[in-house]
Amino acid sequence: MGCGGFRFILLFWFVSRRFNFSLLHVSVGSVCPPPQFIRSSLAPLPLCLSSRFLHPTFVSLFFDQSLLLFVWLLMNNRTEMSGNKSNVSAFGKAAFGAAVVSGLTWLAVKKYRSGATATAVTTKASAALSDSKITITVTAPQPVTTSSTPVAAAPGTPASGGDTKQSSSDIPYDKYYFGYGSNMSSRTLNRRNIHPASSVPAVLNGYRLAMNLKSAMAPLEPTFANVEKDSSVGAAVHGVLHRVTQPNIEQLTREEGGGRSYQRMELPVVPYGGGPAIMASVFVLPDHRNDLRTEGGDVPCSARYKGLLVHGARESGIAAEYLARLEALPTATMPELSKVMTSELKSVIASREITLEQLTNKSSGYLWTSVKGVVIDITDNKTFLTNVFGGMEKTLDMAKFLCDEECPIPTSLAQLNKRHKAYIDAVLANLLMQHKPIGHIKDQTYDW
């Protein structure tokens, strides 16, 4: 039986008990129930709407009860009660008042319980009933601040191991995430505004590191890291175990494909130094997603991506043998802008001026992006690039992706070095190989 049918039976039972009501006979006395009965019927309403008993189904039950009684009395007893208008008025106001309170509380529940963070809803309602009027008072919901202490560091953590930070917010650092690719590096996490409470080296046993996740940014970024089950003796993937918050896990899930590529799994990870395994979130390419797996085995990644893996392994104290394996990874060649930027493309780019307001207007039906002032139409792109590039000037942002020892994260175009500029040229070349340019940003010039 559906929820609606169950609620109807409850309402029908309540009416029959209160009013001697049956399917074949209706007997409500000569007039509407007296005001004393109204007060006793609605007396539990403030309790039911309090923070302890607040529940959408319970609130809906009171709403339906009040509305059904009111409508039933009007429809079936309109003639009989015409001689006692005061009772009709009192009961009508009581039922309507209860319906209003229930409706407001329902909206409060929907608004305050739909957020990602925990918020306590405290809604109080009181009904002062008399023969002539009803006064309804509703106290608006107030967020409740919950203080919490981050959980203890991972078992087996060396005394000096990892970068430990204290939380400045009230969100507990009670989740673990195992990064084996670019998210080993604090520079990648800082760029994403994720600051773990602790980061320690750890091992995922029974898996191997693979470079076989297809990239939507190929050939600039041909492939990204993945982990695959490996039954061979000693098979293991080394990485960094980050202690983070639940919102951090949700953000990482979105930024790692939102389930469209990587799948988030809970796997046992063992911190360096021994100790019990810790269940941590690990992003893995599912076995059935062969459409996202490179053909013929592993494919060389970009030099930029390899640099992030090496940097993360070094700063976190990954074992020297595993670090040497990362340093030996082969890399792909970046596309060259000089070979892509033809005279025809230059003419198209120079022929039209586009303002930043036009570029960022996502409600216009088109989706543009810009690198080095060149505006490119990516409306038909169906990959995650529409979220990464769409409606934005990406020159400085793309330079931040190149964050290794030789390339500090820039905060302005004036801080770009030769490697930054070479990578930005490769980004633009990569976009022009797949999409058409439509113009250039007005009043923006680049001297390289």
CATH number at residue 349: 3.10.120.10
- The answer on 355 and 293 residing in a single domain is no
Q: In which region does residue 28 sit, left (phi positive, over 0), alpha (psi from -120 to 50) or beta (all else)?
A: alpha
- The answer on 322 and 203 residing in a single domain is yes
CATH number at residue 202: 3.10.490.10
- The answer on 341 and 323 residing in a single domain is no
**Domain-embedded: residue 145:** no
**Domain-embedded: residue 147:** no
**Domain-embedded: residue 156:** no
- The answer on 185 and 129 residing in a single domain is no
Q: Which domain covers residue 50, as residue numbers?
A: 3-139
| H or E segment and range at residue 250 | helix 246-255
pLDDT of residue 365: 81
pLDDT of residue 50: 44
Closest CA to 23 of 74, 72, 67: 72
How far, in Å, CA of 135 to CA of 42, rounded?
13
Query: What single DSSP character describes residue 218?
Result: T
Q: What is the pTM of this model?
A: 0.61
| H or E segment and range at residue 95 | helix 85-112
**Domain-embedded: residue 162:** no
- The answer on 215 and 269 residing in a single domain is yes
**Domain-embedded: residue 20:** yes
- Final residue before a domain boundary, out of 118, 139, 160: 139
- The answer on 183 and 93 residing in a single domain is no
- The answer on 305 and 385 residing in a single domain is no
Phi, psi angles (nearest 5°) of residue 284: -130, 140
How far, in Å, CA of 193 to CA of 305, rounded?
19
Q: What is the CA radius of gyration of the chain?
A: 32
For residue 317 the two structure tokens come to 């104290």
- The answer on 372 and 243 residing in a single domain is no
- The answer on 132 and 9 residing in a single domain is yes
**Burial level of 75, CB count in 10 A (0-12/13-18/19+)?**
exposed
pLDDT of residue 362: 77
**Domain-embedded: residue 448:** no
Tens digit of each residue's pLDDT, the chain (448 residues): 555 554 545 555 554 554 444 433 333 333 444 444 444 444 444 444 444 444 545 555 555 555 555 555 555 554 444 445 445 455 555 556 656 655 665 555 454 444 433 333 333 333 333 333 333 333 333 333 333 333 333 333 333 334 444 445 589 999 999 999 999 999 899 989 999 999 999 999 999 999 999 998 899 999 999 999 999 999 999 999 999 999 999 999 998 887 788 999 999 999 999 889 999 999 999 989 999 999 999 999 999 999 999 999 999 999 999 999 999 999 999 999 999 999 999 999 999 999 999 999 878 788 999 999 999 999 887 665 677 788 999 999 999 887 666 788 899 999 999 999 999 999 999 999 999 999 999 988 886 6
Beta carbons of 51 and 123 less than 8 angstroms apart? yes
pLDDT of residue 119: 36
Query: What single DSSP character describes residue 143?
Result: -
Tally of domains within the chain: 3
Residue type (1 letter), 374: V
